[in-house]
């Protein structure tokens, strides 16, 4: 059982994914990024604002029956840089991975500079960013040099 949750314990899952150590308040962003909806048949548990020894307060998302794709790991890292993704099979954690915001992000984020080449209607330049800082999270557009900060990244992926 997860401790520190004031009795709101959520049972272990048999198979699926547990995304742990999500910064408090961002669980729903993680679910949105994964594109999972209860209508698809998944059983989903969301614990918000749980006490954590590692990061103060955290959110936890458990999705029974889903194993995320590799691209999803990168997207999750942009809204939840502290997250750990646990893949569970037969009640055992078979894979545990701490997400890491990638050095290069292609096609997920949008440049904030309206005159950037990536924002021009007839251009085919894919928005591409390089990592400047992980904490706080900052990316830079490789075309115009504009900085994209954590707040903007969160808004874009909301």
Residue 93 contact, options Zn ion, ligand CTP, none, Cβ 5-8 Å cut-off depending on partner type = ligand CTP
Residue 144 contact, options ligand CTP, Zn ion, none, Cβ 5-8 Å cut-off depending on partner type = Zn ion
Binding test (CB under 6 A) with ligand CTP, winner from 26, 29, 58, 62: 62
How far is 80 from 23, CA to CA, in rounded Å?
A: 6
Q: Where are the beta strands (DSSP E) in 1-146?
A: 16-23, 43-52, 56-64, 84-89, 92-98, 104-106, 128-134, 137-141
Strand partners, 73: none
How far is 1 from 4, CA to CA, in rounded Å?
A: 10
Strand partners, 58: 23, 50
Using the rule CB under 6 A, is 13 a contact of ligand CTP?
yes
Stretch that binds ligand CTP, among 82-90, 110-118, 138-146, 150-158 (CB under 6 A): 82-90
The residues binding ligand CTP (CB under 6 A) are: 2, 12-13, 18, 20, 60, 62, 84, 86, 88, 91, 93, 96
The residues binding Zn ion (CB under 5 A) are: 111, 113, 116, 141, 143-144, 146
């Amino acid at each position: 059982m997860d401790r520190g949750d004031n009795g709101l314990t959520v049972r272990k899952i048999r198979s699926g994914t547990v995304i742990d150590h999500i910064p408090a308040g961002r669980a729903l962003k993680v679910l949105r990024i994964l594109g999972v909806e209860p209508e698809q048949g998944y059983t989903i548990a969301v614990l918000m604002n749980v006490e954590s020894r590692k990061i103060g307060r955290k959110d936890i998302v458990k999705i029974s029956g889903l194993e995320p794709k590799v691209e999803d790991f990168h997207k999750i890292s942009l809204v939840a840089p502290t997250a750990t993704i646990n893949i569970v099979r037969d009640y055992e954690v078979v894979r545990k991975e701490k997400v890491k915001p990638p050095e290069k992000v292609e096609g997920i984020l949008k440049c904030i500079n309206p005159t950037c080449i990536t924002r021009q209607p007839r251009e085919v330049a894919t928005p591409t960013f390089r990592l400047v800082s992980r904490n706080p999270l900052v990316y830079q557009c490789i075309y115009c040099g504009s900085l994209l900060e954590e707040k903007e990244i969160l808004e874009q992926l909301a």
